[in-house]
A and B are shown apart, each in its own frame.
Chain A
Amino acid sequence: MIKGRIYKFGANVDTDAIIPARYLNVSEPAELAKHCMEDIDEEFANRIKAGDIIMATSNFGCGSSREHAPLCIKAAGVSCVIAATFARIFFRNSINIGLPLLECPEAVEGSCEGDELRVELETGVIENVSRDKKFQARPYPEFMGNIINSGGLIEYTRKKLVSG
């Protein structure tokens, strides 16, 4: 069970906004996390508390394929990202590295910055405690569920190779 406060963003938050390319001369998640969201919210990395949740409208994570984007969000302490829609590569990357994502336009519509959420990843149930409302996120396709349950793509690949 995840519990945290919402940081809300708009549409088309791109990977340059999540982690500007000028910091990509390193790849250590903790180093990257210091600059998470810097160009659209300078204070984000300082304000965020472990467990907090990023919420955004459509096409979150568009742009570059840089895995540094979900890595730095995760390392900043964000517990999950809830959006109306995600950009394709960002979605894959997050699943692969184990940053939980939930697609739920209704929850985005019905929640505001600072609201407190309770999220059950297994069922996709999102509860807005501040507003006493419940939402149901779209389920993952079974194929992706297998990757998530294996603990990410690397573990999944390892198991597959071992089992031949």
Chain B
Amino acid sequence: MTLAESILAGHSSREHVSPGEFLNVKVDMVLANDITGPIAIREFNKIGVNRVFDPIKVVMVPDHFTPNKDIASAEQAKTVRDFCRAQGCHYFEVGKVGIEHVLLHEEGLVLPGDVIIGADSHTCTYGALGAFATGMGSTDIASAMATGEIWMKVPHTIRFNYTGKPDQWVTGKDYILYAIGDIGVDGALYSAMEFGGEAVDSLTLEGRFTMANMAIEAGAKAGLFYCDEKTTKYVESRARKEYKIHKPDQNAKYARIIDYNVSQLEPQVAYPHLPSNTRPVSGASGVKIDQSVIGSCTNGRIEDLRLAARVLEGKKVKDDVRCIILPGSQAVYLDAIEEGLIEIFIRSGCAVSTPTCGPCLGGHMGILAAGEKAIATTNRNFVGRMGSPRSEVYLSNPAVAAASAVAGCIVSPDSL
């Protein structure tokens, strides 16, 4: 069995499962946020049970429109907060909250071998830990909150092997953007993506979170990495419960095996309006930008901020560019302060925000006007994603986004 199949079998009391089978799967963590939570709660209340199946396995993270941007979003956050208080589920208040997919692994709430479902498509992020994590809708979440189980169809697995040694500005973001550019936004539809190879082994956990995060951008159900020594070291001090390590069998059956060599890979830029419209940064040079956004559940971790600071140190953000930095969590924010990164950002003319999704989904904290262009370390560049339907978003890694903020147009950090 592949890694995905092994985890799903383990959660449905089965020796063996095959792609295409329908299973009832036990879940280790159920997640919703301030947008999807209210609908999940509404549907949960229709089921007719009073309590969630296990409050320590339910978490709600108000991260999208918080600190509340208006009355309507304050009402939504309140609905979620009141529910969690009454049920005793995990809830992270502003001041402690971060972006859900930066926070949960930091808090040790998601672990290797777990099945995690979330009413947020980027729930797939936790696959970096060697977990089966997938996004669903609010109604699925409501049903799982009542029963502790969810139906799933076992996906077939596409295996991605990354070999070679990357250039200093090439990151996990570039590996995954390249793959999405290659297979397309539906290239892994209904599949699990399993990542391996020496180039992936040498990534930090942060780099792996970034890659797993964007599996959904290829249409995948999940994106999985093996749990190795780096992973166990990462979870060691955080884990709040036991966990089990799953490995793919030697003779696991893959729907497809795809090999990439990253030695010649350049940082990638995804042009509007699809994450698959990728080009090497050298081919994107010169696009004038109005805003650079560094943050999100894709690239809002400490390693991402370090990379941006390395590029920005001693330089100035171009006069007519707005560079907005959003640490993904309070812990990331604090590390960035202690490491002197925040000072570098402010001295170079960036705005630093409290952790929030903010502009990533066109919520608040940096919305684009018609005709404006932004480079962003986020994961989606759909029409209107960051504001006006007539604005444009280009996706890149944090080094390219920082360099572009200085140059005023999309450039490689090498050309500063």
User: Which residues on A are within 8 Å of B, measured CB to CB?
Assistant: 12, 14, 16-17, 20-22, 24-27, 38-40, 58-59, 62-68, 70-71, 85, 87-89, 92-93, 96-97, 141, 143, 147, 152-154, 156-158, 160-161
Contacts and interface: CB of A to CB of B under 8 A. Distances in A.
Contact of A16 (B38, B46, B380): B380
A67 B384 contact: no
A147 B22 CA distance: 13
A22 B48 contact: no
B48 A158 contact: yes
B72 A25 contact: yes
Contact of B361 (A21, A93, A97): A21
Interface stretch (B10-18, B134-142, B226-234): B134-142
Interface stretch (B105-113, B185-193, B197-205, B343-351): B185-193
B119 A68 contact: no
B49 interface: yes
Considering residues A62, A89, A141, A157, which has the most beta carbons from chain B within 10 angstroms of its beta carbon? A157
Interface of B: 22, 35-36, 38-39, 42-43, 46-49, 64-65, 69-70, 72-73, 76, 118-121, 123, 135-140, 142-143, 146-147, 151, 153, 185-186, 189-190, 219, 221, 274, 361-363, 380, 382-385, 387, 389
Contacts of B274: 12
Given A17-B384, A89-B121, A67 B137 contact: yes
A65 B120 contact: yes
Contact of B140 (A14, A22, A92): A92
Given A66-B35, A154-B47, A89 B136 contact: yes
A40 B219 contact: no
A22 B362 contact: yes
B147 A20 contact: no
A104 B385 CA distance: 29
Ranked nearest first, the 9 interchain pairs of A and B with the lowest CB-CB distance are A93-B137, A25-B72, A39-B389, A67-B137, A96-B139, A59-B186, A21-B361, A65-B121, A143-B22
Given A157-B147, A161-B146, A64 B384 contact: no
Nearest to A17: B383
A71 to B, nearest CB: 8
A158 B138 CA distance: 16
Nearest to B69: A25
Contacts of B35: 21, 24, 27, 66, 68
Contacts of B47: 154, 157-158, 161
A72 to B, nearest CB: 12
A40 B383 contact: yes
Contacts of A67: 36, 39, 119, 137-139
Given A143-B151, A157-B147, A63 B382 contact: yes
Considering residues A67, A71, A147, A153, which has the most beta carbons from chain B within 10 angstroms of its beta carbon? A67
B219 A153 contact: no
Contacts of B361: 16, 21, 64
Contacts of A152: 139
Contacts of B42: 27
Nearest to B70: A25
A149 to B, nearest CB: 15
A147 B152 CA distance: 13
A66 B357 CA distance: 15
A87 to B, nearest CB: 6
B135 A89 contact: yes
Contacts of B363: 21-22
13 contacts: A14-B382, A16-B380, A20-B389, A21-B35, A22-B363, A27-B39, A39-B383, A64-B120, A66-B137, A67-B36, A87-B189, A141-B153, A154-B142
A160 B219 CA distance: 31
Contacts of A40: 383, 389
B382 A17 contact: yes
A68 B120 contact: no
B39 A68 contact: yes
Contact of A65 (B135, B146, B380, B385): B135
Contacts of B49: 161
Given A85-B186, A143-B153, A157-B47, 20 more contacts: A12-B186, A17-B382, A20-B384, A21-B35, A21-B363, A22-B387, A24-B35, A24-B65, A25-B65, A25-B72, A27-B39, A39-B384, A67-B139, A68-B35, A68-B39, A88-B221, A92-B136, A96-B139, A154-B43, A161-B48
Given A24-B35, A39-B383, A59-B185, A65 B137 contact: yes
Contact of B121 (A17, A63, A141, A153): A63
Contacts of A24: 35, 64-65
Given A65-B120, A67-B137, A153-B139, A59 B389 contact: no
A21 B189 CA distance: 23
Contacts of A62: 185-186, 219
A39 B48 CA distance: 38
